[in-house]
Amino acid sequence: MSEQQQRSVAVIGAGLAGSSAALGFLNAGFNVTLYSDRARRGLRDDVPPTGSAVYFGKSREADARIIEDLYGEETLTTGLSTRLHTGYGDERGEILEFDPEFGYFAQAVDVRLRAADRIDRFVQRGGVFEVRTVTVDELDAIAGKHALTLVATGKGGLVSLFPVDEERTVYRTPQRSLLLVTLQAKGDSPDFGYRTQNGRVHNLFNLHTDFGEAWLGPFLHKDAGPSWSFLGFAKPGSPWEERFTRAIDVHSARNVVVDFYREYFPNDAPEVEKLEAIVSDPHSWLRGAVTPTVRKAVGTTSSGHAVAAIGDAAIAFDPLAGQGAQNAIVQVAALVAAAASHKGEFSADWLGEQFDTHWEERGNAAAEVTRLFLGDPKYAAHAELLFPAAAVSERVAAALFGFLSEPDRLTALKDRDDVLGYISEIAGEPSGDVLSRFAPSSGFTASPAAAARV
C-alpha cells in the first residue's frame, strides 16, 4: 500500500455521522472520499430529518472538534418544562411537574442542515464526494483501496456485515412509535409563560404514564429558520399509535399534532394551535419506529478487508432520550483523534478496540439512559425516586436531565440505595426529607386562552 493509500479513508453514507467523519478525517490530514446514494441537493431537500438531532451539553464539545458552531446563540436552549400526566377524559390526572435549568446548553438543528454544512466544508477543503449506491461487493473493492473504511448506513445490504450483538442488545421490537413534525409560527408565536418563565429557551415535555411522551422544543429548520419540533412517542398498543398514523402529509401531520394536544394536553393546546405546517418543505414530518440495536461494529468484506460501522449503523437508539445524534458525534470525534495518532494498520483488532472503548465510555451509558426514560423495569426504582424528588428539588431535576448530557452518571447508580444517596448528594439534604415534601400536583397551569374556553 502506497503512502497516500495509508492515509486514505472511505466513508459510506452522508448523513450526520458520515458527513462528520468525512470532515473530521479530512481536517486530520487524511485523503477522504465520501460516498452517498444521493446528490448533495437531494440530501438536503428530498428527505425528512431523521429526528431532531438535539445535542445536550457534552456532545456539543465533541462536535466542536469537527466543526465550529454555525448556528448561533439563538438556537440554544437551557431547560425543560416537564409534566407527568395519567388517565384520560374524566379520569385525567396531573401528577407532578418541574422546570429546571439544564446547567448546560442544548441545541436542536435540522440534521439535514448540519450534514449539508459539513459536506459543503468537506468539498471546499478538497474532499471527494461521490454519488453512488455502494453494495456489499462494491464495498469490498472500496475497502481494498483505502486504509480505513467506515460504514454510516445500512443501505445496499451493508448492515449484513455487522450482525446484531445479542449480549449488548436489550430489545427485540420497537419500544415506541414516533411522529416528528416541524412547525412554524407565522403570526402570533406560542407563549408558554404559564409553564415556564424562560420563554423560548426552555423545551416542553409532557409524559403520560400509559400512552407515551410528547416533546415540543425550539428547532432550527434548514429553510424556515427558527421553528418548533414536535416529537411524539407512542407506547405499543396505546391510542396514540393509531392517531399518529393519520399523518400522511405536512397538513395532516400538523392537524394530528394540534388535535393531539386538544385531546390529551388541553392546557397547552391554544399555544400549539398557533403553529402552522412548513408547506415549502414536504419532508418536514416523519413517522416511524426504531428497534434499539447494538451491532458488532467491525465487519470483514469478502476479500478480508476490515470495515467499521459508525453512528446508527453501529448503535440504533430509541429517539426518546435524544442519544442517537449525540452518540454518533462522540464516537466519530474519538475515532478521528485515535486514528490521527495511530501509526500502524487500521486492523480489525484496532477497530474493535476503538468501538469497545466507545461502548464503555459512552455507548452503553447512552443506551441505559434511554431505558430509564422508556420506563424499563430495570430502572423502576430510579424513576420512582428521581421524578418526585425532581418535583421538589430543582437541583435533582437538573441532575435528572444531566443524564442526557453525561449518561455515565446514571450507570453509577446500581440500586435503590445508590439513588437515595445520589438524591441526598445533589439536593444537599437527606433524601428522605426531599421525598417527604412531595405532594401530587393540585392542577397544572394553563394557557390563558385555554382558561378562557372553560
pLDDT recorded at residue 388: 98
User: Whose grid coordinates read 430489545?
Assistant: 171
The pLDDT assigned to 199 comes to 76
In whole angstroms, how large is the CA radius of gyration of the chain? 22
Strands 202-208 and 212-221: what pairing? antiparallel
**What SS3 state is found at 277?**
strand
Grid coordinates standing for 336? Answer: 478521528
pTM of the entire predicted model: 0.96
**pLDDT at residue 152, rounded to an integer:** 98
The DSSP letter of residue 224 is: T
C-alpha cell at 450: 385555554
In a 3-state reduction of DSSP, which class is residue 133?
A: coil
Say what the pLDDT of residue 53 is: 84
Per-10-residue mean pLDDT of the chain, 454 residues long, equals: 70 98 98 98 94 91 98 95 94 95 97 98 98 96 97 94 98 98 93 89 96 97 97 98 98 98 97 98 97 98 98 97 97 98 96 98 98 98 98 98 98 98 98 98 94 62
Could you tell me the three cell numbers for 81? 418544562
Q: How far apart are CA 351 and CA 298, in angstroms?
A: 7
Q: How far is CA 250 from the centre of its chain?
A: 22
Contact 362, 411 (CB under 8 A): no
CA distance 339 to 25: 8
DSSP summary character for residue 51: S
Residue 52: its pLDDT value, please? 75
- Of the candidates 297, 304, 307, the one whose C-alpha atom is nearest the C-alpha of residue 147 is 307
- In sequence order, the 6+-apart residues with CB closer than 8 A to the CB of 124 are none
Domains belonging to the chain, first-starting first, are: 3-50+110-171+292-372 (3.50.50.60), 54-109+173-289 (3.30.9.40), 377-436 (no CATH)
> Is 281 in contact with 221 (CB distance < 8 Å)?
yes
In this structure, are strands 293-294 and 306-309 parallel, antiparallel, or unpaired? unpaired
